[in-house]
Amino acid sequence: MVSPDSQIVVTGAGFSEPGDEGDARPFLRTPKLRKLLGPWDHLAVLAASRAIEAAGLPKSLGERAGLYVVVGHVPAQKENMEALIEGSLDENGEFSGKLHARGGYLNFNPIWTFRSLTNAPAFFVSSCFDIQGPYFVTFSEPGQFYLALEEGIHALRAGRADIAVVGATVDQDNEMVRFHYRRTRPPVAEDLLRSGAGFLVLETAEAASARGAQAHAVLKDYTIGYRTHDPLMESFAQEETFQPAGPCSDAFWGPASLPISIARAEPGTLQHQLLSRDGIQATSCWEVQQ
C-alpha cells in the first residue's frame, strides 16, 4: 500500500549523448514521424528506452505510467534562423514584419518548427512507449528537473501512477542556445555547453518489490526551495556540485545533469546541491546500488 512516506527507488536509468551508437527511429509508432524527430527528441527517446529496459519493463507502459520531462532552451541552427528572415529584410537590412507576412515566412521549412517544440520530446517518449498516465512538461534551467522529480514522486505516493518516467533532454550545440548563454549574467562559455538526455524510472519500494525489480538507486532525501527575486532585474550565477564529482561536474548539461549523473554513477552515495539561475535551490541524496 502506497503512502505519503513510501520510499522512492530508481529501478532503471539511462542516458544518451550525441554521436552514440543508438538509434531512436525503431521506437517510433510510424516511419512517417522520422522527418519530425529533432536532435533533442532523438536523445530523449534513446535515454528513456534505456531506462525502461534497465527497469525490466515492457515497451508499452499504459495508463498507470506517468511522464515528467524537462527540456533545455529552444535550439535552432544558424542556417535555419537565416532562412527564417530571408526575404523579410528591407532595403536597409532591417527585419520587416510586413515583408515577412507577405511571404518571407515561406522561406522557412515548417518541419524545423516541430523539431524545436518544447513539448515534442515528451510527445515522442509518450508515443514510443505508450505512456498514458499523468504528465508534466517544463523548461529550461536545472532547477526545473527537481519540479518534474517532485511531480513524479507525488503521483507515485498518491497512487495516481505506478511508474514515473522522469527525465531531461538538452540540445545545446547550436547558435540559438549559444547566443542565449552569451547574454546571461554571468555568461556560460561555449566550450562548456553539452548536449544529452537522462531518464529515470521511479517506483515506490513496495511496487518495485512486488514485481521483483531491483533498485538502481534509492532516493534518501531531497529538498526544494526558492530564492525570491525580480527576474527582469536579477538572475543568479548557477552553483551546482556533485559529491563525489562525476561526469557532469566540469561542464554545463542544463537540466539533464542530475539524471545523467545518476545513470552513470558508481555504487555509493551521490549528493547533489544546486542554486539554479531561476532561483530554485535544491538538494538530493541518492544511494546508488548498481
The whole domain housing 131 covers 8-76+116-288
User: How many Å apart are CA 11 and CA 152, to the nearest integer?
Assistant: 14
DSSP state of 288: E
Nearest CA among 178, 187, 159, 155 for reference residue 277: 187
Specify the pLDDT at position 111: 75
Residue linked to cell 542565449: 180
Is 90 within a domain?
A: no
C-alpha cell of residue 10: 530508481
How do 8-16 and 196-204 pair as beta strands? antiparallel
- The mean pLDDT of 201-208, rounded to a whole number, is 97
Is 85 within a domain?
A: no
Nearest CA among 141, 176, 159 for reference residue 274: 141
Q: Let me know how many helices (H) and strands (E) the chain has, helices first.
A: 9, 9
Task: Please state the pTM of the whole predicted model.
Answer: 0.93
For 249-286, the pLDDT digits (tens) are 999 999 999 999 999 999 999 999 999 999 999 999 99
Residue 248 predicted with pLDDT over 80:
yes
- Find out whether 6 and 164 touch, Cβ atoms under 8 Å: no
Beta bridge partners of 239: 275
Specify the pLDDT at position 79: 81
Task: Count up the domains in the chain and report the number.
Answer: 1
Specify the pLDDT at position 204: 98
Is 62 within a domain?
A: yes
C-alpha cell of residue 39: 536532435
User: How many Å apart are CA 126 and CA 124, to the nearest integer?
Assistant: 6
- Find out whether 218 and 289 touch, Cβ atoms under 8 Å: yes
User: How many Å apart are CA 9 and CA 4, to the nearest integer?
Assistant: 14
Give me the CATH number covering residue 187: 3.40.47.10
Most confident of 77-86, 114-123, 171-180: 171-180
- The mean pLDDT of 27-31, rounded to a whole number, is 89
- Find out whether 21 and 176 touch, Cβ atoms under 8 Å: no
Phi, psi of 204 (to 5 degrees): -75, 155
User: Which stretch of DSSP H or E encloses residue 150?
Assistant: helix 143-157
- Find out whether 54 and 201 touch, Cβ atoms under 8 Å: yes
- Find out whether 178 and 190 touch, Cβ atoms under 8 Å: yes
Is 110 within a domain?
A: no
Is 199 within a domain?
A: yes
Nearest CA among 124, 83, 125 for reference residue 105: 83
CA-to-CA dists, residue 196 to 40, 89, 94, 161, 267, angstroms: 8, 35, 36, 27, 22
User: How many Å apart are CA 158 and CA 281, to the nearest integer?
Assistant: 25
Is 103 within a domain?
A: no
Specify the pLDDT at position 266: 96
Q: How confident is the model at residue 33 (pLDDT cuts 50, 70, 90)?
A: confident
Residue linked to cell 498518491: 158
Per-residue HEC secondary structure of 209-259 comes to HHCCCCCCEEEEEEEEEECCCCCCCCCCCCEEEEECCCCCCCCECHHHHHH
Mean pLDDT of the chain: 93
Angle at 163 between CA 147 and CA 221, to 5 degrees: 45
Q: How confident is the model at residue 70 (pLDDT cuts 50, 70, 90)?
A: very high
Is 183 within a domain?
A: yes
C-alpha cell of residue 204: 515506490
Neighbours of 256 (CB within 10 A): 33
Is 261 within a domain?
A: yes
